[in-house]
Amino acid sequence: MCAGVPGVLKGRSAARLPAHMPLLRGAVRSGPPYYIITTTLKRARRDRWRWMVGAIMRQVRTLGLLGTGVIGGGWAARALHFGIDVVAADVKPEMEAWIRGAVANAEGALSRLTFAPLPPKGKLSFTTDLCLMARSVDFVQENIPEQLELKQRTLAAISRHAPRDVVIASSTSGLMPSDLASALEFPERFLVAHPFNPVYLLPLVELVGGKVTSTDTVEAAARFYTFIGMHALRVRREIPGHLTDRLQEALWREILHLVNDGVATTGELDDSIVYGPGLRWAGMGTNLIYHLAGGEPGMRHMLRQFGPCLKWPWTRLEAPELTEQLIDRMVEGTQAQAAGRSIRELERLRDDYLVAIQQVLRQFNIGAGATLRALEERLYEAGAAAARGKLAAAAAGEGVAAPLRLLETQVRPEWVDYHGHMTDSRFLQVFGDASDALLRYAGVDEAYRRSGRALYTVETHVTHQAEARSLEPLYVTSRVLEVDDKRVRLFHVLHRRRDEAQVATAEQLYLHVDTAAGKASPMDAGVRGRLTALRAAQARLPPPPEAGRLTGKAR
């Protein structure tokens, strides 16, 4: 029996449901290769209906969510943002309004995470029919309450409806996959994929396989989570609490002791983290930081010096009794810290700094910043590949290519000036992003830059022609006006999407340099060839009136 009450898919995906059915019967739809693995299915001898899945084969276009509370809502927001459709299923019909609100709420911060070109957003639909969800999706993520028996029963029911090449993952904070999968159909496609709140901003997901989980399942899951911008940390073997919650729990247990013993308030204990270790953890974690703290001899010295106190020990292994007095101290302490701010307000503050931290770490290519950078690399490359396809199609037709549309963006609320218009410096940023996208199209990517070659901006001329207000959707079209061995001259137009008005233009001259020598150098022949082909394809377009114009000269 399937958990949940019969119902129908609601929302825009409802009309699309029949289109999924061929996929459910095994056909693979065309589209971006989110992950593809070849499959070998071998019939198991003991049961003619059971197949041993040698590998998983499913392109994830639609994610199914089982349980749509805090964590289900977070998964939905992340998946939709990166172009995956979501079918959300919950036993409570009122969760539809909740999850739609949660997705809208998450979008504010999520939309500021990266400026890289994103695919069109996924579509969200909701159902109370859990089996219908299981039949209509490519990947199931379970997020129901942390109760072993409830999860076992519900997952078993779902597994009878989800086609066997659909991965089923559980968000459980501490239960072990072998226990959860005890009654599953095709348990080799099951694993734990433990995320962190807010799922839409924190990239970590712990992947834990059980006794029978196939390596292909873990691989396929890792590819999917990477596709939606996450860092998949493979846990070597199943243990209660996986890795991170064991560490978090140790810290929390000690906090409870210190509050219980009247040594410190919750606020003082949080200060002891946020002004010190918390700042270090985001970039290097605990072990690498301790390695540094040991001076030249590193970790060996650190262990010699501080190892003995681990035996005293300073800390305790058993949590204190959760007495009414301790609960009151914890609640009053955190209420004092909140200082009248609502949970929503605090969430917004948390989300904003989580975005900012990741953008800073991105510059150093470490931790969550490295994940963000890798995601952007893929997004830019996908945008460039689409543009190459468009250009090839145009060249095969009339031989005249329109300006390339490589960058879609929106005026972020923090980009506006005192008049409520997009401020000057942001025009430079948007045009810089457009140049990046075009040059990437030509092959100037991360690997190219790592090889010690880059294009430096030597001149920019911007004209401003119309207003762009907060949240205004915009796009940029780009042309190559001139290219030689060492230089390329680009021309961009920024458009308002609502009325196609031309908001601004930019003409930019780039010089190719050898970054180690700090000197101009000839660009790679492939890069030059692509830029030259693009210039030739666009050569019959009328020259832009703003190109070569001096500041203030009438048009």
Q: Based on CB atoms, which residue is closest to ligand NAD, 56 or 144?
A: 144
Contact pick of 114, 141, 171, 477 for ligand NAD (by CB under 6 A):
171
Side-chain half-sphere CA neighbours of 193 within 13 A: 31
Tokens of residue 406, six digits: 């490589």
- In one-letter notation, the amino acid at residue 9 is L
Q: Based on CB atoms, which residue is closest to ligand NAD, 143 or 538?
A: 143
248 binds ligand NAD (CB under 6 A): no
d(CA 503, CA 350): 34
d(CA 476, CA 329): 55
The residue range among 6-14, 138-146, 231-239, 532-540 that interacts with ligand NAD, by the rule CB under 6 A, is 138-146
Contact call for residues 492 and 532 (beta carbons, < 8 A) = no
Look at residues 231, 149, 246 and name the one whose alpha carbon lies nearest to residue 193.
Answer: 231
Task: Provide the 8-state DSSP code for 454.
Answer: E
Q: Based on CB atoms, which residue is closest to ligand NAD, 187 or 195?
A: 195
**3-state class (DSSP) for residue 67:** coil
d(CA 93, CA 100): 12
Q: Based on CB atoms, which residue is closest to ligand NAD, 196 or 225?
A: 196
Q: ∠345-351-355 over CA atoms, to 5°?
A: 150
4 binds ligand NAD (CB under 6 A): yes
From the CB of 255, what's the least distance to ligand NAD, in Å?
17
* 120 CB neighbour count, 10 Å cutoff: 7
The residue range among 166-174, 184-192, 346-354, 386-394 that interacts with ligand NAD, by the rule CB under 6 A, is 166-174
Q: For the segment 187-206, give every residue that binds ligand NAD (CB under 6 A).
A: 194-197
Q: Based on CB atoms, which residue is closest to ligand NAD, 155 or 444?
A: 155
* 477 CB neighbour count, 10 Å cutoff: 18
264: CB partners within 8 A, 6+ apart: 258, 272
508 binds ligand NAD (CB under 6 A): no
From the CB of 146, what's the least distance to ligand NAD, in Å?
4
Q: Based on CB atoms, which residue is closest to ligand NAD, 95 or 116?
A: 95
95 binds ligand NAD (CB under 6 A): yes
154 binds ligand NAD (CB under 6 A): yes
Contact call for residues 401 and 391 (beta carbons, < 8 A) = yes
Q: Based on CB atoms, which residue is closest to ligand NAD, 173 or 214?
A: 173
Tokens of residue 71, six digits: 């964590």
Contact pick of 69, 283, 294, 432 for ligand NAD (by CB under 6 A):
69
From the CB of 548, what's the least distance to ligand NAD, in Å?
57
367 binds ligand NAD (CB under 6 A): no
71 binds ligand NAD (CB under 6 A): yes
Instruction: Point out which residues bind ligand NAD (CB under 6 A).
Output: 3-4, 66-72, 90-92, 95, 130, 143-146, 154, 171-173, 194-197
